[in-house]
Chain A
Amino acid sequence: MIEMKHEQRSPVSSIVLAGLALAALLASGMAAAEKTTLRDQMGHPVTLPAKVEKLVAIPIPIASMVMALDGSAARLSGINSAARSDIDEGLLGRMFPAAAQISTQVAGESFAPNGEALAAARPDLVIQWGDRGDAIVTPIRKLGLPVLTLKYGDSQWVADWLRITGTAIGKGERGEKLATWFETRMAEAERRAAVIPAGERPRVLYLMRGRSALLVAGKNTSMDGDIARAGGINPASQLPGFAPVGVEQILAWNPDIILLNNFERDMSPQAFYADGRFKGLAAVTKKRVYRYPRGGFRWDPPSQETPLALDWLYGVLHPDRSMPDLRPRISETYLMLYGYRVSEAEIDRILRFDENGQSAHYGKRFGKHP
């Protein structure tokens, strides 16, 4: 193999090297090419630098994913500012204290890269969303930085995020291991839900916004897929994406369970129970409003923690069906993903017992059993 050095090369040697690389590629076919180029999730071939020592991750879940793959936050030189709340308020900052130092200036509104800050972060590679238009990708390419693009939509795709990101940072084996684990657990969740008869599937609504507007998760959102995967029915599944609806529409759907997001600060089941407009709703009278937990990452969007989120969701949707205790599963998974031993108090915080504790079946289902 060609030895690629990190320091600057003269144009002549670059051409020679490129020529050699091309020759090697032609000579040995794909076997050699695999070492330096990678097909990203959008199908673009990306030529990787020999070593990715500094990485900028603009998609929010990738920040914690890289820490899981790497066992450290050292490689990240830039992350999305929205990932900061997982570091500051979630468990991520406790598991990786160094994460608090990572620059969050690299991207602004709607994942738009900030050229200057991106250049200042001096990344060897940038990871960006690929399904939100070229406008947020092209500026990175123009800086001469290699970009790896991922797509959002189904939790299932996290396995590929793990594989692609792992390979990119030289942790291909770890990425493959986590991806296989992820797929096994997803399949387990699907098998578990498949046997539930249609009549026993509760109607579950996810609210991406509940305060300033009512935004439900419809078609092509990961939440829609996850509700089905946990054996529920999403009455909003015909609406496109995250769709605004009126109070009346929610009353007309009359969901059995309402899931609250991790994005709004003042969102809690209590606020929902107290809102006069929702009185009489099945989910409210039966006290089945729950806020999604949050650990190293929030459990509502897809991430390496999605298998835990699906276990939790199954437990919430089917309180009478047996399932393995979630608390030891959380401990095992956090040890495996982050090398971190969570305390019982931390598990309570992850599961948001302070907010969800009053809701139906919660203590019995997820509480600590002596």
Chain B
Amino acid sequence: MNSASIALPATPGARGKKRRVWMSTWALATLLLLALIAGLTLGRYLIAPAQVLEILFSGSAFDARDPEAAMAARVIESVRLPRVLLAAVIGAGLAAAGAALQSLFRNPLAEPQLLGVSSGAAFGGVLAMLLIGDGQPLVIGALVFGMLALAAVFWLAGGKAASRGSSTVLLVLAGIVVSGVFAAGVSLVKLVADPQNQLPAIVFWLMGSLATADRDRLLLALPCVGVGLVILYGLRFQLLALSLGEEDARGLGIRVGLARALTLVAVGLITAASVAVCGIVGWVGLVVPHLIRMSFGTDHRNFLVNVMLGGAAYLILVDTFARTATAEEIPLGVLTALLGAPLFAFLVRRIGHGLER
């Protein structure tokens, strides 16, 4: 699709600015590359950067007689690489989901947790942990209940009428209701869980962490988040138009109901998959889109791509810090909140009314 051919009123479509617009994307791509390199070279198991590159580019062709080299290769291939890639996938997904919801609801404070999908997924996960066990059942339970929560939100907001209707308030209210019910469900499960066997596992999972990242989890998250991202990318113009207001969007010939329904499905998929593989990691969907918006603006041609790149780089860096700073692993959800909230507060103070855009 030739993106430059569609001109929206909000964006200065001047041809001369094209190169400058895409410069931000190149910068963010470079940042992501640097984050990837940092994520792969840093870790508690010390491996020289040169050796890391050697392992990455030589595949599994290491000298099997040298246990040191074999171990280093395994650390990179089955521990660090899946974890860094999972962080990138989840970071890109959550950031894009946040940006999409902010456009959809025309509310700068919207984020994936708002829809109740996180709570639903959390409930599904802890229920699976209670009844069956962690591992695969947890992931499937979280996915199923995350999507159930989304369906409940749709239904509560009036089903088809909501996707056609004009009130986003209804959706937000439905999200709060669904979120509340599932949060209570999580508390209930915690209450009946075996305090020694299950409860600590539940608490730790809910805190959010990529510590259990492996190939299986990556392969599970990748298609869900991938599909969600493709949908959102396809909707990037509609989303930007929606952020101007529904009437304006309709005036531009956008089928508001369809765009909204598709956005919610994409956000639901991304959120449920991310909760399933790494628990509740908050603030990414809020901090990253705003950082991008404030540094590079919201040009329709690359805003969403920028958000995805930024989100991936952001979560890789935060997770690398979480697992490298101390021998003890800092839960990722704690760190994103600890880092995200003050960062967000700083931005709000600094930009002030700029947020209203």
Contact = CB atoms under 8 A, between A and B. Distances in A.
Interface of A: 60, 80-82, 85, 108-111, 209, 211-215, 236, 238-240, 243-249, 251-252, 263-266, 276-277, 279-280
Given A251-B71, A252-B44, A85 B197 contact: yes
Interface stretch (B88-96, B129-137, B343-351): B129-137
Contacts of A214: 211, 329
B283 interface: no
A39 to B, nearest CB: 29
B154 interface: no
B54 interface: no
B211 A244 contact: yes
Contact of A209 (B70, B79, B80, B200): B200
Interface residues of B, number: 37
Interface string B171-214: 00000000000000000001100111101110011000101101
A280 B133 CA distance: 27
Contacts of A81: 194-195
Contacts of B78: 276-277, 279
A272 B194 CA distance: 23
A245 B194 CA distance: 23
Contacts of A215: 200, 204
Contacts of B26: none
A251 B43 CA distance: 11
Q: Which 9 A-B pairs have the closest CB atoms?
A: A212-B201, A82-B196, A249-B44, A252-B45, A243-B328, A212-B134, A213-B204, A244-B329, A248-B44
Interface in B114-144: 129, 133-135, 138
Given A245-B329, A247-B79, A249-B327, A213 B197 contact: no
B204 A238 contact: no
Given A109-B195, A276-B78, A247 B67 contact: no
Given A213-B211, A238-B327, A280 B195 contact: no
B150 to A, nearest CB: 25
Contacts of B323: 246, 248-249
A311 B25 CA distance: 63
A212 B79 contact: no
B75 interface: yes
Contacts of B196: 60, 82, 85, 263
B331 interface: yes
B197 A280 contact: no
15 contacts: A60-B196, A109-B191, A110-B195, A212-B204, A213-B211, A215-B200, A240-B328, A245-B328, A246-B79, A247-B79, A248-B79, A249-B45, A249-B329, A266-B135, A280-B70
B194 A264 contact: no
A248 B75 contact: yes
B74 interface: yes
B201 A277 contact: no
A16 B43 CA distance: 71
A109 B197 CA distance: 12
Contacts of B328: 239-240, 243-245
Contacts of B138: 212
